[in-house]
Structure 1
């Protein structure tokens, strides 16, 4: 059973979904996605965790007071902390993917007492790459303004190397179609704001390194050569930690949710 909560944060109202019982696991979505991106793994992990997923501010069912405003990574991390506070939990385990993993990195640096363990799945911290200038999100924002969202998406997939990833299978399920429509509606804001903030984010490597095994860097085994994986490998190397390979690609939790949840569970419980 899923409990729906609304968490009030400065400038937004966050849609949250809570499942299960046990230690708290916070799932942070990435990109233009919302909490529904974790619908495949959340029920499985809820067998032994209180799983909390939410729509980040300005996406889907979490409207921002100023829809045209840009949310910084710092603001998004503070939102995640406020979600944890609303659940009333002590230190929680956090899983974030893509931009959600970037939010997780900032959360654990700013509020380490709130995070027992962070599993960061393919955070696209492209500012660490030697070719960082070529991945600045401002270029995509310009394309979106000049040529529209489809053109920006085409350039985004090609520039990250993800244009060869398998698209989601066709569906006539009403709930799935509603979810896809929400994701599509989030894309203009994703290109206008999210990719810019994430591409320019500089993780605090020294602070993250000081947290030792509390930080787990993970990437899809089918993501080799793609920009998010390259960035993740670079950060893992800077932290002196091994990269854990997960099933699938950048969106492995969508394509293979059962295998992904099985691989994720031991990481949540402290396995290296």
Structure 2
């Protein structure tokens, strides 16, 4: 594997940055790793475990190095999907294999529904598609409450409520007030409001990502082979429940990964996963 190279790509309302780790002699499909709001830096440990093929990572619009430009439209999974399609086209047009995590999994499902010819295999790990849940109204109310808390009290208060809500196991109560309301200090977050309201998760993607309705008919008909991943330690949490619900609608069995929502992480970002075991499971799906 030669050294990683960084590239830029203009898109409506953003300048996208992506990184290519080329393996010239490999015959395996290029592996694209995407998250949202996680940027390319979050996939360093996982990419290091796929040195037998070219790996591409990128920063979604508004995250990391991919800055928004004047007149940027509201970010949606469909808009993110268009961005990913641009990256795939720029690196050679595909079809590529895609590992997509969290909001990136939602965006990848949007991509495959629209452009299945670009993706050979998609492994969508724990997409937070609240609309797929039986208690969707309660979960969506809790998500709206997180957004309102962020707008009213700032990043620390909003993120604390986000962490607490995503840690809940089982169905949500009808009233968001019945959910835990932790202090930001419990998570090492600031209690002071710095006045900013441009957080990529809480301001940009929270609502449009969780409220998205995938085109299930198009996904079932797609030429892409689709796996929906769930982490064994996430059982009962929103993303696990949503992942199993999406898998059921697609008529596939969930692919169970070791560890949790960020199981591919090596201890960075405050989360310690099992990257070796996670990568082995991912490889088995890509090669199946």
Both structures adopt the same fold (TM-score exceeding 0.5): yes
State the alpha-carbon separation in 2 of the partners of residues 131 and 91 from structure 1. 36
Residues 1:199 and 2:210 are matched in the alignment: yes
**How far apart are 1:68 and its partner, in Å?**
7.5
| Correspondence for 2:17 | 15
**How far apart are 1:103 and its partner, in Å?**
0.5
Residues 1:264 and 2:266 are matched in the alignment: no
Note closer, same or farther for the CA distance 1:200–1:262 as it changes in structure 2 (3 Å cut).
Answer: same
Residues 1:144 and 2:146 are matched in the alignment: no
Note closer, same or farther for the CA distance 1:54–1:213 as it changes in structure 2 (3 Å cut).
Answer: closer
Note closer, same or farther for the CA distance 1:83–1:162 as it changes in structure 2 (3 Å cut).
Answer: farther
**Is the Cα contact below 8 Å between 1:60 and 1:186 reproduced in 2?**
no
State the structure with bigger RCO (CA 8 A, min sep 6), 1 or 2.
1
**Is the Cα contact below 8 Å between 2:101 and 2:125 reproduced in 1?**
yes
| Correspondence for 1:172 | none
Alignment match of 1:76 (pick from 80, 102, 105): 80
| Correspondence for 1:114 | 118
Alignment match of 1:228 (pick from 198, 215, 239): 239
Greater mean deviation of Cα atoms: 235-244 or 78-87: 235-244
Provide Cα deviations, 1:151-202, integer angstroms capped at 9, x if missing partner. Answer: 1111112212269xxxxxxxxxxxxxxxxxxxxx998231112110011100
**How far apart are 1:48 and its partner, in Å?**
2.0
Provide Cα deviations, 1:182-234, integer angstroms capped at 9, x if missing partner. Answer: xxx99823111211001110011111122377010111111101000000011
Provide Cα deviations, 1:65-89, integer angstroms capped at 9, x if missing partner. Answer: 0487531111100000000011013
State the alpha-carbon separation in 2 of the partners of residues 6 and 68 from structure 1. 17
Provide Cα deviations, 1:13-48, integer angstroms capped at 9, x if missing partner. Answer: 1111111323211111123x2101100011211x22
* Greater radius of gyration (CA): 2
| Correspondence for 1:37 | 42
Unaligned segments of structure 1, at least 5 residues: 164-184
Alignment match of 1:2 (pick from 4, 7, 11): 4
Note closer, same or farther for the CA distance 1:13–1:229 as it changes in structure 2 (3 Å cut).
Answer: same
**How far apart are 1:53 and its partner, in Å?**
0.4
**Is the Cα contact below 8 Å between 1:135 and 1:199 reproduced in 2?**
no
Unaligned segments of structure 2, at least 5 residues: 170-195, 266-272
State the alpha-carbon separation in 2 of the partners of residues 261 and 162 from structure 1. 27
State the alpha-carbon separation in 2 of the partners of residues 201 and 189 from structure 1. 17
Note closer, same or farther for the CA distance 1:229–1:70 as it changes in structure 2 (3 Å cut).
Answer: same
Alignment match of 2:164 (pick from 154, 158, 164): 158
State the alpha-carbon separation in 2 of the partners of residues 186 and 217 from structure 1. 32
Ranges of 4+ aligned residues in structure 1 off by more than 3 Å: 66-69
State the alpha-carbon separation in 2 of the partners of residues 186 and 145 from structure 1. 7
- The TM-score normalised by the length of structure 2 is 0.81
- The TM-score normalised by the length of structure 1 is 0.85
RMSD: 2.0
